Structure 1
Amino acid sequence: MHFDVSWRDAVRRLPFTLVLAAALVVVGAVTGSLWGRASDESWYRDVAFGLPALREGRWWTPLSSAFVEPGPWMYLVFVVVIVVGMGWAERQLGTVKAILVGVGGHIVSCLLTVALVWLFSAQFASWHWADQLADARATGVGALVVSAVAVASATIRSPWRLRVRVLLGAIVAVAFLFQGTLASVEWVLAATIMLFVGEKFFAVNEHGYVPRTRREVRMLGCAAVLVIAGANLLVFLFPGSGPLGPTDAGDESVYAMLIGLAINVLIADQLRRGKRWAWWVAVVLGSLNVILTVVTLALVAFTDVETEGAVTLGTTLLWGLVLAILVPGRFAFAVPWRVRHVGDPDGDPVDHVRELLREYGGGTMSWMTTWPGNHYLFTDDGRSVVTYQKHVGTLLALADPVCAPERRRAAVGGFIDLAESAGATPCWFSIGTETSEIVTERGWRSVQIAEDTIVDLPDLQFKGKPWQHVRSAMNKATKQDISMRMVTLPDESFAVRTQVRAISEEWVGDKGLPEMGFTLGSVEEAMDRQVRVALAVDPEGNVHGVLSWLPVFAPGGDVAGWTLDIMRRRTDGFGPVVEYLIASSAVAFKDEGAQFISLSGAPLARTGESDADPLDKVLDALGQALEPYYGFRSLHTFKKKFNPRYEPVYLAFRDESDLPRIGLAVSRAYLPDATAGQLLRLAASGKED
């Protein structure tokens, strides 16, 4: 999403944008509106659209009004809007389509605006705002640009499609609620109609309006609350009159405004971080405001009551939008005020878990126990820890206990006692052979759910026929001048981090289901400074692929190996980038003295047939249903290219009566953001297979 600075390329690629911007400036200069108020000129009634203009027979005004702005500063603003907004839309859609949707959307929204103004002024005679609009005339190119941008937003992938739509919606909503001009009504109609047109006729790679990842939900909620804060500040400084009455804050003091602004900014920041308490505060505030809005709107529409609190009323409508974001996306805000743990280690429990991992070592999945969303059970002396998550009344212990070998049996028993004393169903997920044997000694059942794919490094050489695919990928990378950089992601430039996020969120956006969690990390987890990230980069600095590697500690604190976590590639980039990055990472880690890399076990996928165990069938059905969306089994097959050895990964449970709840808990752990409808479709897809 960038523009070529060459004027020749700009003329070739963006002719409509340049002509439109030039026409606006020329008309402004010729008419004198470039340095004065257009509405004061005698010719204004001949070019401005509105209900009076059509009554007077000026049928050309929906088109002529687009080339005149109300005043000098609006010319400056909208020349920039045309260059940025229309320029981007023309680049996305092509010149012909950009003209059709821009001009078409502008004319349709103009005519529909006039029709609605006539209807509301006739039906609600006491509505002062509607009466004012019935006599108003307006000019401006805003609806044309809004129409084009709304349609063009359907052509791009996540996360940019949502970001563009949020920005567009925020501008339109604030203008309508807190200024309420005839032009702002036109913008609302243009955005609403053309978003539908774009989604219906122009969307190709993605469909729908909802956010696809936890991060998108959090950023959307944060942005919505910031819009509320910004709108309150704007109308405090520049009061006007909107559809709900005057936006003058009345006797509100500067201090009251600043306190409200600070509270909103604090809530927005904590929503961005996924904090549960911020979600509750926002939902409670939003609910109270929406109730007040509904009552007040009823009084305005059906009685003679006049409002003076349009700032409050407009804000509460925006809070309604916030609720529409936060309530369906509640699973994105699961980060507690403090990480829950049993036992009382000093300081941050996550830091203590990391200390134990360095002291006692861990398995290939142990670093996942440091991720957000986990809870911890420590022994009284703080020398053992079991990591778990709670879903639908089930405690899912993640990976093996972190402790000295002789303490493992006690740690297992402590977790089982915790679950049973709380009336919850205990379950061990993704454990190794030793922990599996300990729980089966207690009469539990244990089934294999995945295979950890291990590549030993000391004797690794990419020789012979089994490594042909890997050698081919590395040779192609050399020919295309693609190189691998092993980095710590938070230390990279903003441009690199932005590319990594875009590649990851584009990948998630293709799936039709939300971002997965539990044993599958995201870019957020890759931002940990202990995590290494492999980037495939071309000479221009474009990132073609991303791998993240989690450390696997040996007792004493040395890194024995690395576990592959996120694996993303740019859709239009270097083809065999994943094979190249894995092989290059293996070489780099071998040179550092690491003993192995784990390509990790693809969840719910393994070699061979399922056993007859009922849980095998449940997990097999879940893996089968998820396969079209996430390709776990295809991924498992892909990893065979690296000739790994396999180590079994188990799930352990008490008895068959726990299976229904465990199946739901595992589904919710991997898909914490999925709606009920998405889970039903997922279940149906599994049955069809």
Structure 2
Amino acid sequence: MTVETPSQKPASAMSHRVLTAVRRMPFMIVFTLVFLAIGVATGALWSPVDERAWFGEVATGLPSFADGRWWTILTSPFFAEPPFAYLTLLPLIVGGIGWAEWQFGTLRTVGLFVAGHVIGVLGAAGVLALLTPVDWHWSDRLSQTLDVGPSCGALTALVFAIATLPSPWRLRARLAIGLWAAISVLYLGQLFDLEHAVAMTVALTVSGLLPAFRHPEGRPSEREWRLIAFAGLLAIGAIQLIDLAVPYDGPMGVNAPVFSFFDVAFDVVVIALVANGIRIGHRIAWLLTVIFGALNVLTAALSFAFLPLLIEQGEIDSAWDVVGLQLAPTLLWIAMLIFLIVARGAFRVRMRRSRRTLSATPVREDEVRNVLHRHGGGTLSWMATWRGNQHMPAADGVIAYQAHSGVAILLGDPIVPTGAEREALESFATAAQRSGLIPCAFSSSETLRQVMPEGWRSVVVAEDTIVDLPGLEFKGKAWGAVRTAINRAAREGVEFRMVRLADEPWSVRAQVRAISEQWTGDKGLPEMRFTLGTVDDAMDPEVAVGIAVDADGSLHGVTSWLPVYGADGTVKGWTLDLMRRRDGGFGPVMEFLIGASAQHFSEAGHSFLSLSGAPLVRTEETQATAVYAVLDRIAELIEPLYGFRSLHRFKQKFNPRAEPMHLLYRDEGDLPRIGIALTRAYLPDASLHDLIASAAPALRR
């Protein structure tokens, strides 16, 4: 039998990936190799191919078709001009054709590539042929131009691949391609820009109409209104910057800009600030954009009104010198103003972050407890009563959340009647979006994941470890560590007591605080919060606290247990929260405390214990993705500081069953901000210096 060594496994995995790519993307690979080989054989890779005598025999354009060289449709995709165009075309070929071939198969991708190329080059030639009778410098110039390259076919394949993306990435990518094609053809105006515009217009239209790619569209959400307005502002900003800094000779006229660094920098800053405010939904950004737009339209109207006078006085030679440069931005501003007025309800976010709270009636802490007693909740629901959480009513219940770094983080599941989870999550997401916050749900159950809004994503961020209590007995090898700890505690005179910490004498409470402060001090960071409680939280009269004390009254360890209410208003289980042990005390005190607590709750008739979830810990069976790879890396950095993975391994001594806990979010674009927000939620008091100093040892490993 042959055993594969660890050093052989990466090579084997790489070979498998290569074979998979060759099997699923043969057209992309063959075309890329042929494209490069022809570039080397003809010298097109390092010298301009349009200087060769035979260039007209392989290039498309109106002159070639007028002379009957129709075969150039087949030859032109295999050349590029100028040589640096290979740097942009190769990623487009690999990304566009490769992605489409992976999605649709080889034959369909070949069809898309050929159709896109033919439509692009023939469509552009047809447009120029129709414009021949018109005395237009731009069309006359392009009518004498030839072009080569596979960009039309590759872009068409890319557009159809984009149609397979989920919302909102599909809309974002289509907007980006559409704006790029429009701006490049109107302002830069080269022959390949016109070919791209023709091919992209057809590809975007067809991919949106085909039944296989058709998606049901309702009224745009507030987020989509903001996204479209943001894209429109970027387009207007790009046009202004082109006018300032880029010389061009296109359909809009000839531009020879005279600019200063200050002019360009000022425009970039203003556009970036206003556009970002529009993306978030700021009311002030909406108002400023409307004012700017109105001023631009008014300025253009005055320019058009004074055209006859300017021509008469000889200030300009042709009306088109003004109309060409003003027409596109003016039409865009008019469209933007109409759009902003129609979508004005999506721009209500306050400028000051401190005022960005969810637009809902506040819920008092006693009301949160009443809802918990009435509807019950999950293993994290009692954390909704902790300091630092905000609350909003939803579906005859309540939602606990925290707002950090522009993100509203729903803690666990909504505390609502069974079956109302989806309604509650949707109302939370709507309220967050209207307040300019990114909505997400952290450490949520599988039940909530199943009813999350359409288009949302999920990722496993923890495992809830559950110990079933009915019939619990510490028998067999699997319970050896717990049984040994309990027996050793009896021999050494360490006693278990389940108490209400608030009712304990001052001496006991003082020892609990001293042990906790010692533990926190060893970490080098402030005490973590959010899903990790403190001694103050353990003082709640409804929280059970297990302590291990010896005959002298010395405290060796403490655990706190949060109640988990059922829908009938009774406690059905308990969730482990605080775990603290005294340095130099009884060795297996945690095994002893958790085991003894399990016995206590089992005898009291409760159903389960949750040993709580270790953040950023997931099962090995979870499908590996790029998102999980990032989370795994973060977990590696945090592990030396708080030992989440080692804590998860410790909990396996109690033979729990695992239930996944999810992060629910709208799309991957929100993840960077969510990561920052979660860091702030767990470490609200940590400074940047604290984080860097504590992470440095982990980064050096």
Q: Cα offset for 1:78?
A: 0.6
Q: Aligned to 2:267, which of 260, 263, 270?
A: 260
The equivalent position to 1:107 in structure 2, one of 118, 134, 156, is 118
> Where do 1:111-130 residues align within 5 Å?
111-122=122-133, 124-125=134-135, 127-130=136-139
2:60–2:147 Cα contact (<8 Å) kept? yes
Cα distance in 2 for partners of 1:149, 1:324 equals 31
Distance in 1, Cα, partners of 2:202 & 2:429: 41
SS at match of 1:534: strand
Q: Does 1:36 align with 2:47?
A: yes
Q: TM-score, normalised by structure 2?
A: 0.51
1:158 to 159, 167, 178: 167
The answer to whether 1:216 aligns with 2:224 is yes
* 2:141 paired residue among 124, 132, 143: 132
Task: Mark the CA change 1:236 to 1:534 in structure 2 (over 3 Å): closer, same or farther.
Answer: same
Conserved? CA contact 1:400–1:432, under 8 Å: no
Describe the shift of the 1:159–1:399 C-alpha distance in structure 2 as closer, same or farther (beyond 3 A): same
CA contact 2:293–2:333 (8 Å) conserved in 1: yes
Of residues 510, 534, 543, the one that matches 2:443 is 534
The SS at the match of 1:593 is: strand
Alpha-carbon distance change, 402 to 216 in structure 1, aligned in 2, over 3 angstroms = same
The match for 2:345 is 331
Q: 1:517 to 1:60 in 2, by over 3 A?
A: farther
Residue 229 in structure 1 maps to residue 229 in structure 2: no
In 2, Cα distance between equivalents of 1:161 and 1:56: 42
- Aligned residue for 1:6, secondary structure, equals helix
Q: 1:567 aligns with which of 452, 455, 478?
A: 452
> CA 1:98/1:349 → structure 2, altered by over 3 Å: closer, same or farther?
closer
Equivalent residue number for residue 34 of structure 2: 23
- Judged with a 3 Å threshold, the aligned counterparts in structure 2 of structure 1 residues 111 and 323 are, in CA distance, closer, same or farther, namely farther
How do 1:242-321 residues align onto structure 2 when only pairs under 5 Å count? 242-249=250-257, 251-289=258-296, 304-307=318-321, 313-319=327-333
Distance in 2, matches of 1:92 and 1:452, equals 50
Match for residue 76 of structure 1? 87
Query: Which consecutive residues of structure 2, in runs of 5 or more, have no partner in the other structure?
Result: 1-13, 309-316, 382-399, 410-421, 468-530, 534-542, 544-559, 569-701
Structure-1 residue corresponding to 2:69: 58
**Distance in 1 separating the partners of 2:279 and 2:146:** 41
- Give the whole-Å Cα distance in 1 for the aligned partners of 2:103 and 2:304: 40
Deviation at 1:104, TM superposition (A): 0.6
Q: Distance between the aligned counterparts of 2:328 and 2:404, measured in 1?
A: 39
Structure 2 distance, partners of 1:528, 1:192, is: 33
CA distance in 2, matches of 1:297, 1:203: 46
| Residue matched to 2:248 | 240
| Pick aligned residue for 1:593 from 542, 545, 562 | 562
Larger Rg belongs to: 2
Q: Distance in 1 between matches of 2:138 and 2:31?
A: 32
Q: Residue 331 of structure 1 aligns to which amino acid in structure 2?
A: G
Separation of aligned partners in 2, 1:212 and 1:594: 42
Kindly state the Cα deviation for residue 223 of structure 1 after the two structures are TM-superposed: 3.5
Q: Deviations over 1:50-102 (max 9, x none)?
A: 21111111112233222222211111111011112222222222222122122
Task: Check 1:188–1:456 CA distance in 2 against 1; reply closer, same or farther (3 A cut).
Answer: closer
- Structure 1 pair 25–401 and aligned structure 2 pair: CA distance change class (3 A): closer
Change (3 A) 1:49 1:525: same
What TM-score results when the alignment is normalised by the length of structure 1? 0.51
Q: Against the structure 1 CA distance between its residues 519 and 129, is the aligned structure 2 distance closer, same or farther, given a 3 Å change threshold? A: closer
Alignment pair present for 1:9 and 2:9: no
The aligned runs of 1:333-348 (5 Å cut-off) are 333-337=347-351, 348=354
Q: Secondary structure in 2 aligned to 1:567?
A: coil
Work out which of the residue numbers 358, 376, 381 in structure 2 matches 1:455: 376
Is this contact kept in 1: 2:226–2:279, CA < 8 A?
A: yes
Q: 1:143 to 1:318 in 2, by over 3 A?
A: farther
1:457 touches 1:594 (CA, 8 Å); kept in 2?
no
Is the 2:25–2:98 Cα contact (8 Å) retained in structure 1? yes
CA distance in 2, matches of 1:293, 1:162: 31
CA RMSD of aligned residues (A): 5.1
- Give the share of equivalent positions with the same residue, in percent: 27
Please tell me whether the aligned partners of residues 534 and 547 of structure 1 are also in contact (alpha carbons under 8 angstroms). Answer: no
Structure 2 CA distance for aligned equivalents of residues 582 and 487 of structure 1: 23
Distance 2:255 2:37 in 1: 35
Distance in 2 between residues matched to 1:182 and 1:93, nearest whole Å: 30
Paired with 2:191 and 2:345, the residues of 1 have a C-alpha distance of: 40
Q: Does residue 154 of structure 2 align to residue 145 of structure 1?
A: yes
Which structure 1 segments of 5+ residues have no match?
A: 340-347, 351-369, 375-397, 406-430, 434-449, 461-485, 498-510, 537-543, 549-565, 600-689
Count, aligned residues: 425
- What is the CA distance between 1:203 and its match in structure 2? 3.7
Show the 5 A alignment for 1:471-482: none
Answering whether residue 54 of structure 2 is matched by residue 85 of structure 1, we say no
> Residues 286, 487 of structure 1: CA spacing in aligned structure 2 closer, same or farther, 3 A cutoff?
closer
Distance in 2, matches of 1:535 and 1:403, equals 21
Asked if the contact 1:155/1:203 (under 8 Å) is kept, the reply is no
